[in-house]
Structure 1
Amino acid sequence: MISKIKRGVSLYSFQEEMFLGQMTVEDCVACAASIGAKGIEVLPEQNMPTFPEISDREIGQWHEMMARHGTELTCYDMFLDTKLRKDRLMTDDEQVASIRRDLVLCNRLGIRNMRVLVFVRPDILERCVPYAEDLDVHMGVEVHAPWYMDHAWILRTVEVADRLGTKHLGLLPDMGIFMKHYPPVFRDRFIRQGARPEIVQFILDQHDQKIMAEYTIYEVAVKLRGNKAEVAMAETLRHHPFANPKRIRDFIPYFRHIQAKFYEMDADCTDPTHAYAEVIAELVAGGWDGYLSSEYEGNRWVQDVQPVDSREQVRRQHVMFERLIADAEALAPAKAFA
């Protein structure tokens, strides 16, 4: 049987080349289309120079670009700077107004999914649900490491959605929560910064055994008298838990879009870090039908020693997606696709 999972790319994946002026937004869209990734996730604050004052003409240009490449806009990544606004915190009313502004623009762009940053309070989102329903936009709270599906903070959003009986508030998982193995690009960067092989191996072993991060940090910083690079490497463990992939199927009703985080793809088109085979098997078996949207973030770990090639990295991830989806389809019961 054939699943309904679709493939896409977040324009965030090409941040290195766009920052350096090596790729335009249209180059990024063309790259995605060339590998069969038809869904385009946008970050209006980064990708639309006149944000938030986007004219109808500009929106028309985005739609024309999608038509040229046979792609569609799939997700709108919103930001909410609650920390500082004219030297003070934003009030609750200002936060609601900011989110409503994004919902309106999301609707004008014809996008039905909006990524909401994980720190936005559930009670603020509850106030925004009527706007989301009126504009037909799903607000997906990003489940970003170190949070995970069953985290108490995430479950507060689930509780609000259930209590309101709304289909316009839910979750948007970031695959970084399924970091099964320590990223080789992280390891190599810390070695270049002076981490000693024996301490690096200790941290890798601790991660493989899923030892609590704070214990590892203490061992490295105090008992092993780690240097700055070694302590920094140990501290990354705080932010990269390994959530149980089997739990994702239970949350499928709450999300419409997935950010497919990755740091590197090997030459054989495998991800040495994230448990994609396990996750995709659960998605296929659960009959999920949204977009897997590539989110490449490995550039910052290699840019000190080699040119970043985001296009090739994204291409390899989609080769992996095609393979893993086909493998999962061969094993999934037919009822998953009914």
Structure 2
Amino acid sequence: MSQKIKIGACLYSYAKLFFTKEKNMDALIKEAKDNGFTGVTVVASQFARGYPDIPDEWLSALRDSMKKYEMDPVSWEAYIDMGMRHDRDLNREEIIEFTRNDIVYAKKAGFSCVKTQQSISPEIFAKMQPFCKKMGVKLAIEIHFPHNIHLPLWQNYLEIMKSSEGWLGIVPDMSIFQRYPHPLHIEQAVNDKECRREKIEQILARWDLKLKMDTVKDLELNERENMYAEEFYEKNGCPSDPEDLLKMLPYAHMIHGKFYYLGEDKKDSCIPQDVLMKYIKESGYEGYIAAEYEGHHFSIKEDERVQMTRYREMVQGLLEES
């Protein structure tokens, strides 16, 4: 495997351990280290005490933990909470203020990259370049399902990145390449007491035949079964072409290694990881692929530590094969 490609862990993947208070921030960083990762990303709104007004002692403690376990600070994951007010969305000035604050917090915590969301407009995104340069912190927008780079909005973002001297970039999230419902989602539907197994199997059979959502109407689904049908089609019905990744990698400050479940064979049934890793290596990409496990949204029975270790081993193997 190329030493220029590193594998990190999104601490978001260990959300269950944090939420149940089984592990605190320091222990999660150690967990990522023990799982074989060399760096981490931190979702500020999830982990940071007092966010969006974070005390310096918390930032200092985070920095100390990173140093103690010799982990790279890969990305500070910012959050533009458009719904934090009940009467209106955040305005332009507020979005700028929150983004600047996250850049300052990231700098204090030792991070040189901030991941933001598409809630930031192209106009505001472009205006952040001077502040990023002043602070020495890059700013990257995550492209996440259901978006793709062919949308006019993303074409605009890419043009801004091209002229930003490297300060503004993108974070490709592998969810945009999801092409089949993952096992935990299917299991959730099958085990739903309001669903009939045969109906879920019929929905998936239609999917396998590449038939459109309209064709499931004659299956006489109940409300719950129809909900799963819509979820299956909505999340997997129009995946990005893996070759689109090649158009993003020149501006990628990090890659979100999204996955939902890996069995003992360490194969992903819904995201074409083999093809994507081949493109990543052949492109000459240098930087982090940060494992982001989201199976806990569908099942709490799985051990995220096992899943994260399987992901790291899968990626290492695929990059070596490539």
Asked whether the two chains share a fold, i.e. TM above 0.5, the reply is yes
Which residue number corresponds to residue 283 of structure 1? 280
Change (3 A) 1:124 1:21: same
How many residue pairs are counted as aligned between the two chains?
Answer: 319
Matched, 1:309 2:300: no
Amino acid at match of 2:235: H
What is the DSSP-based 3-state SS (H/G/I as helix, E as strand, rest coil) of the residue aligned with 2:128?
A: helix
Distance 1:296 1:225 in 2: 34
Residues 146 and 239, structure 1, Cα contact 8 Å, conserved in 2: yes
Give, in whole Å, the separation in 1 of the partners of 2:169 and 2:200. Answer: 39
Indicate if the aligned counterparts of 2:161 and 2:168 stay in contact, CA closer than 8 A: yes
CA contact (8 A) 1:12 1:295 kept: yes
1:234 corresponds in structure 2 to 229
Counterpart-to-counterpart distance in 2, 1:226 and 1:9: 40
Q: Cα deviation per residue 1:104-152 (whole Å; 9 max; x = unaligned)?
A: 1112222122111123221121222221222222221111011123333
Instruction: Answer whether contact 2:44 2:79 (CA < 8 A) is retained.
Output: no
Preserved contact between residue 59 and residue 105 of structure 2 (Cα < 8 Å): no
- Structure 2 distance, partners of 1:101, 1:209, is 49
Paired with 1:2 and 1:13, the residues of 2 have a C-alpha distance of: 25
CA shift digits 1:292-331 (9 cap, x unpaired): 111111112123xxx3411111111111111111111xxx
Gap change, CA 1:120 and 1:235, over 3 Å in 2: farther
Q: 1:224 aligns with which of 219, 223, 237?
A: 219
Residue 235 of structure 1: how far off its partner (Å): 1.5
For structure 1, list consecutive stretches of 5 or more residues without a partner in the other structure: 329-338
Gaps of 5+ in 2: none
Residue identity in the other structure for 1:246: E
Residue 189 (str. 1) matches residue 185 (str. 2): no
SS at 2:63 equivalent: helix
- Rounded to whole Å, the distance in 1 between the matches of 2:50 and 2:93 is 24
Q: CA deviation at 1:210?
A: 4.7
Shift of 1:3: 4.8
4+ runs of 1 displaced by more than 4 Å?
none
Rounded to whole Å, the distance in 2 between the matches of 1:129 and 1:207 is: 44
Structure 2 residue matching 1:302: 3-state secondary structure: coil
CA shift digits 1:71-94 (9 cap, x unpaired) = 121101111122342622222111
Aligned residue type for 1:45: S
Taking only aligned residues, the RMSD between alpha carbons, in angstroms, comes to: 1.9
Where in structure 2 are the equivalents of 1:100-249 lying within 5 Å?
100-162=100-162, 164-193=163-192, 194-211=194-211, 215-216=212-213, 218-220=214-216, 222-236=217-231, 237-240=233-236, 241-249=238-246
- CA deviation string 1:163-186 (max 9, x = no partner): x44311121111111113321111
SS for the counterpart of 2:49 is: coil
**Cα separation, partners in 2 of 1:45 and 1:207, compared to 1, 3 Å:** same
Give the equivalent residue in structure 2 for 1:331.
Answer: none
Structure 2 counterpart of 1:8: 8
SS, match of residue 149 in structure 1: coil
Relative to structure 1, the CA distance from residue 207 to residue 258 in structure 2 (aligned partners, 3 Å threshold; closer, same or farther) is farther
Give 3-state SS (helix, strand or coil) of 2:243's partner. helix
1:263, distance to aligned residue in structure 2 (A)? 0.8
Asked if residue 252 in structure 1 is aligned to residue 215 in structure 2, the reply is: no
